[in-house]
C-alpha cells in the first residue's frame, strides 16, 4: 500500500538510513517515490537533512553545496524541471591533483561546472551583482554525480533525498576576485562558453545562459530556496557552491580523460582522469 510520510520523524530517519546503506554498499535501490507517491519536496529535504546529520556524526564535515538541475536544456531528459541542492563534504571535494577513483560511485556521470567560493554569507533576495560582492574566488571544475536509482530514472523528490545526486567534486584553480573586477566577473559569468571533450574528442558545448541565465543567477535562486528548506545551514564564509552543469551530463569510465576549454571568462580549462 502506498504511504506518505505525514511528518513522521521515524520514517524520515529510516529513509535516510536506506539511502546511506545503499551508497555504502554501492547498490541501486528503487526510487523512494515508487511506494511513497505522496513524498513531497519538503519531505525529501528532511531526508536530506537526516542524511547530513548521519554523515556528520560519522566524521564528515560539510564544506559547501551543490546545486543540481540548473541547466534547462537537460530538464526534459531527466523529467526534472526545477533546481535542487544538497551539501558537499570534505570527503567528497578535492583539488585537481591525481586520478579520481570511480569505484565508490554508482552510475557516475561527469558535469563541468562553475564554482563560487564565498567570503561572506549572502542574503535571500540578492541580485547577481550583490551576490558577487559576497564571493572571494571563482573556479571551474567537475562534479561527478551519481544515481542510486537504476538508469537515472527518478522524480525530483528522489534526487533530493539521495545526496542531490552528488558523488564527488573536483575543483580546478581558484581565481581570486578583486573588488574592482567584480563588474567584469558578473558579465563574464553570464556570457562565457565551454567545450567538453573525452580523450580529445568533443562531446558537447555549453554556455553560461544554460545555467538559469548564468551561475550567479543559479546561486541566487539557491540562496533564496535554502532560506525555506529544512537543511538548517546557510552558506557561510569559506563555503564552495558548485552551480550546475553547463553541458549535458555523460557517463564516465576508468581510463578516460575529460577536458574543458573555456572562452569569455578568466578561468583556465580543466582535465580529469578516472581510475
- Residue 2: band (very low, low, confident or very high) from pLDDT cuts 50, 70, 90: very low
What's the angle, vertex CA 143, arms to CA 196 and CA 34, rounded to 5?
115
With beta carbons less than 8 A apart as the criterion, state whether 160 and 47 touch: yes
Pairing of strands 257-263, 271-273: antiparallel
Instruction: Give the pTM.
Output: 0.94
Nearest Cα to Cα of residue 222 among 81, 88, 110, 68: 68
Q: Evaluate the CA torsion angle 197, 201, 207, 212 in order and state its sign.
A: negative
Q: How many CA atoms lie within 13 A of 149 on its CB side?
A: 21
Whole-number Å distance between alpha carbons of 216 and 219: 5
pLDDT digits (tens, 9 = 90+) for 107-160: 999 999 999 999 999 999 999 889 999 999 999 999 999 999 999 999 999 999
Question: How far, in Å, are 53, 88, 237 from residue 12 at the CA level?
Answer: 12, 20, 30
pLDDT digits (tens, 9 = 90+) for 91-107: 999 997 789 999 999 99
pLDDT at 32: 97
pLDDT at 92: 98
Nearest Cα to Cα of residue 35 among 82, 1, 65, 78: 1
- Residue 1: band (very low, low, confident or very high) from pLDDT cuts 50, 70, 90: very low
pLDDT beyond 60 at 255 = yes
pLDDT at 215: 97
pLDDT digits (tens, 9 = 90+) for 237-249: 999 999 999 999 9
Cell numbers 554523515: residue: 55
pLDDT digits (tens, 9 = 90+) for 177-236: 999 999 999 999 999 999 999 999 999 999 999 999 999 999 999 999 988 765 667 899
Amino acid at each position: 500500500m502506498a504511504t506518505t510520510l505525514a511528518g513522521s520523524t521515524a520514517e524520515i530517519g529510516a529513509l535516510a538510513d536506506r539511502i546511506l546503506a545503499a551508497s555504502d554498499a554501492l547498490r541501486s535501490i528503487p526510487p523512494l517515490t515508487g511506494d511513497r507517491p505522496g513524498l513531497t519536496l519538503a519531505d525529501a529535504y528532511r531526508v536530506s537533512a537526516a542524511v547530513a546529520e548521519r554523515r556528520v556524526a560519522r566524521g564528515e564535515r560539510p564544506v559547501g553545496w551543490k546545486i543540481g538541475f540548473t541547466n534547462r536544456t537537460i530538464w526534459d531528459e531527466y523529467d526534472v524541471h526545477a533546481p535542487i541542492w544538497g551539501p558537499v563534504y570534505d570527503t567528497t571535494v578535492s583539488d585537481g591533483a591525481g586520478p579520481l577513483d570511480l569505484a565508490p560511485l554508482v552510475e557516475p556521470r561527469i558535469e563541468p561546472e562553475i564554482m563560487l567560493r564565498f567570503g561572506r554569507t549572502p542574503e535571500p533576495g540578492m541580485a547577481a551583482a550583490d551576490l558577487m560582492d559576497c564571493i572571494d574566488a571563482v573556479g571551474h571544475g567537475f562534479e561527478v554525480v551519481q544515481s542510486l536509482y537504476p538508469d537515472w530514472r527518478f522524480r525530483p523528490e528522489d534526487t533530493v533525498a539521495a545526496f542531490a545526486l552528488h558523488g564527488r567534486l573536483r575543483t580546478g584553480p581558484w581565481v581570486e576576485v578583486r573588488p574592482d573586477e567584480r563588474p567584469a566577473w558578473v558579465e563574464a559569468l553570464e556570457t562565457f562558453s565551454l567545450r567538453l571533450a573525452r580523450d580529445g574528442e568533443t562531446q558537447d558545448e555549453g554556455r553560461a545562459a544554460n545555467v538559469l541565465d548564468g551561475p550567479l543567477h543559479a546561486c541566487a535562486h539557491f540562496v533564496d530556496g535554502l532560506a525555506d528548506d529544512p537543511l538548517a545551514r546557510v552558506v557561510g564564509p569559506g563555503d564552495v557552491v558548485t552551480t550546475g552543469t553547463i553541458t549535458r551530463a555523460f557517463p564516465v569510465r576508468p581510463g578516460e580523460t575529460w577536458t574543458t576549454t573555456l572562452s569569455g571568462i578568466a578561468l583556465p580549462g580543466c582535465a580529469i582522469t578516472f581510475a
